[in-house]
C-alpha cells in the first residue's frame, strides 16, 4: 500500500456505541485521529446485564452523533475518508445491524468501500495498531464476553487454541461482586477488596487444570463462592468486611492461576515461538492477573504486551485498524455481507458451549 489511508470505524456489537478515525501513511506508524466511545452502563444497570433491545435502540439513536463527533475530533469530513470499516459480528444482532445499516448508508452516499470486520479480529489485531508487532503472536482475549487464546498469524489468519467453555472471567468477577454486595462492574471492586484479603483462607476450584489443552471453565467458581459465603452466614449470621476481602482474594487467585497455567500451555501449543503474548479485554486491567501473565510470558522468553486499557476494551479504533489491515493485505471488501450474531474467527475450531451475559460467545 503506497498511499495514505484514512478509515472511519464503527462499533456497536455490545453496549458501547463507538466511532473512530485511524490513518496510516506509508512508512509511518498508524495514527488514531479520534476514538469516541459512548457507554450504556447506566441504561442496563437495573437489569443486571445488557438488555439486547435497549442496547439496539440506544445504538440506533446515538450512532449518528458519535460518528459526527469522531469526524469532528479527527478534523476530517467524510470526503477525506477512504473507506468505512464496520463491526459485522459477532454480537447482539440488533446493535450490529444498527452499525451496519449506518455504515452501508454512508458508504453508498459517498461511494466508499465498506469493510466488514469481525469484532474479535479488531481486538486481536490491536497490538499491531499500538505496538506494530509482527505476526505470529499469541493473544489472550479476556473480558466480560470473551475468553480465548488466539494465535494471530495474519490479518485474516487466526487459530483458536482454546477458550472458556462457559462463562467469561469478567462475568465471574461481576457475579462475585453481586453475590458479595459490591458495586458493578465487579472487576475493579473485587480487585480492590482482594488486595486487602488473604488468598489462602478459601481454596476455590481451578477447573480443567488437569485437562490437556487450554480450554477453561469459570462457571463453577461462582457456585463455590456462593457456598463459601453461605457457609459463613450459616455459621455466624453474616459475613464481616474481612471475610469479604478473603473471599475476593481467594476467587481472584483461582482465576489468575487458571489463566496463568493455561497461558503457559497455550504458549507451548503455539509451536513456533510467538513474537509476543498480548492481552486484551477488561479483565486484563487486573494487576494481579496481569502480573501473573507477565511472569509466565517472561519465563517462556516471550515479550509481554498489554495495550492501553481504552484500546483493550471495546472501541472503534480497533475496527478501523482491522479494516485497514484487510485493505492493506488486499483482502476483499464488499457490500455483499450479512450481520452475524455468531462469527468464530477460526472456523475450524469446535463450537463453544454456553453464552455469556453480553450475548453469544464466538
Ligand atoms: O472488555 P470489557 O470492557 O467489555 C466486554 O466485556 O466486552 O470488559 C468488561 C469486563 C467486566 O466484566 C469487568 O468486571 C471486567 O472486564 N473488569 C475487570 C477489571 N476491570 C474490568 N476484571 C477484573 N479486574 C479488573 N480490574
Ligand atoms: Zn469486545
Does residue 170's CB lie within 6 angstroms of at least one atom of ligand 1? Answer: yes
Closest atom of ligand 1 to 168 CA is: 12
* Domain spans of the chain, in order of start: 5-131+311-360, 137-306
Q: Is there an atom of ligand 1 within 6 Å of 187 CB?
A: yes
Is ligand 1 within 6 A of the CB of residue 30? no
CATH architecture of structural domain 5-131+311-360: 2-Layer Sandwich (3.30)
Edge-to-edge strand ranges of the sheet holding 147-154: 157-163, 147-154, 137-142, 277-280, 304-305
Q: Decide if 5-131+311-360 and 137-306 have a common fold.
A: yes
Locate the ligand 1 atom nearest the alpha carbon of residue 185 and give its number.
14
Instruction: Looking at the CA of 173, name the nearest ligand.
Output: 1
Yes or no: domain 137-306 corresponds to CATH 1.10.3720.10: no
C-alpha of 80 from chain center: 30
Q: pLDDT tens string for the chain (362 positions)?
A: 689 999 999 999 988 999 999 999 999 999 999 999 998 888 887 776 788 888 889 888 999 999 999 999 999 999 999 999 999 999 989 999 999 999 999 999 999 999 999 999 999 999 999 999 999 999 999 998 889 999 999 999 999 999 999 999 999 999 999 999 998 889 999 999 999 999 999 999 999 988 899 999 999 998 999 999 999 999 999 999 999 999 999 999 999 999 999 999 999 999 889 999 999 988 999 999 999 999 999 999 999 999 998 998 899 999 999 999 999 999 877 777 889 998 988 877 766 554 444 444 44
Using alpha carbons, select from 218, 37, 224, 35 the residue that is nearest to residue 142: 218
Q: What is the pLDDT of residue 310?
A: 92
At 362 the pLDDT is 42
In ligand 1, the atom with minimum distance to the C-alpha of 171 is: 12
Ligand 2 ion: residues within 5 Å (CB): 314
Distance 291 CA to ligand 1 centre (A): 16
Q: How far does the centroid of ligand 1 lie from the alpha carbon of residue 361, in Å?
A: 15
Amino acid at each position: 500500500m503506497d498511499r495514505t489511508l484514512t478509515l472511519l470505524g464503527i462499533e456497536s456489537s455490545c453496549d458501547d456505541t463507538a466511532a473512530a478515525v485511524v490513518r496510516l501513511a506509508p512508512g509511518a506508524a498508524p495514527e488514531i485521529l479520534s476514538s469516541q466511545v459512548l457507554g450504556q452502563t447506566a441504561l442496563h444497570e437495573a437489569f443486571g446485564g445488557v438488555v439486547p433491545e435497549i442496547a439496539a435502540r440506544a445504538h440506533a439513536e446515538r450512532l449518528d452523533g458519535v460518528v459526527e463527533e469522531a469526524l469532528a475530533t479527527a478534523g476530517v469530513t467524510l470526503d477525506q475518508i477512504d473507506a468505512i470499516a464496520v463491526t459485522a459480528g459477532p454480537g447482539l444482532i440488533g446493535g450490529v445491524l444498527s452499525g451496519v445499516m449506518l455504515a452501508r448508508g454512508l458508504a453508498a452516499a459517498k461511494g466508499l468501500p465498506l469493510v466488514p470486520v469481525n469484532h474479535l479480529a479488531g481486538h486481536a489485531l490491536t497490538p499491531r495498531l499500538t505496538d506494530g508487532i509482527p505476526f505470529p503472536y499469541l493473544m489472550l482475549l479476556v473480558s466480560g464476553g470473551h475468553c480465548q487464546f488466539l494465535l494471530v498469524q495474519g490479518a485474516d489468519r487466526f487459530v483458536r487454541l482454546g477458550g472458556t467453555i462457559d462463562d467469561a472471567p469478567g462475568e465471574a468477577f461481576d457475579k462475585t461482586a453481586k453475590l458479595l454486595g459490591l458495586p458493578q462492574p465487579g472487576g475493579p471492586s473485587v480487585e480492590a477488596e482482594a488486595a486487602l484479603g488473604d488468598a489462602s483462607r478459601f481454596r476455590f476450584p481451578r477447573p480443567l487444570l488437569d485437562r490437556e489443552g487450554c480450554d477453561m471453565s469459570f462457571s463453577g467458581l461462582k457456585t463455590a463462592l456462593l457456598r463459601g459465603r453461605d457457609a459463613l452466614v450459616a455459621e455466624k449470621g453474616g459475613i464481616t468486611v474481612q471475610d469479604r476481602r478473603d473471599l475476593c482474594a481467594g476467587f481472584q487467585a483461582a482465576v489468575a492461576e487458571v489463566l496463568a497455567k493455561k497461558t503457559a500451555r497455550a504458549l507451548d501449543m503455539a509451536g513456533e515461538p510467538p513474537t509476543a503474548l498480548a492481552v486484551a479485554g477488561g479483565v486484563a486491567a487486573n494487576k494481579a492477573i496481569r502480573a501473573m501473565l507477565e511472569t509466565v510470558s517472561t519465563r517462556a522468553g516471550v515479550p509481554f504486551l498489554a495495550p492501553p486499557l481504552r484500546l483493550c476494551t471495546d472501541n472503534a479504533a480497533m475496527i478501523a485498524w482491522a479494516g485497514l489491515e484487510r485493505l492493506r493485505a488486499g483482502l476483499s471488501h464488499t457490500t455483499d455481507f450479512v450481520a452475524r450474531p455468531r462469527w468464530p474467527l477460526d472456523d475450524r475450531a469446535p463450537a463453544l458451549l454456553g453464552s455469556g451475559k453480553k450475548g453469544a460467545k464466538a
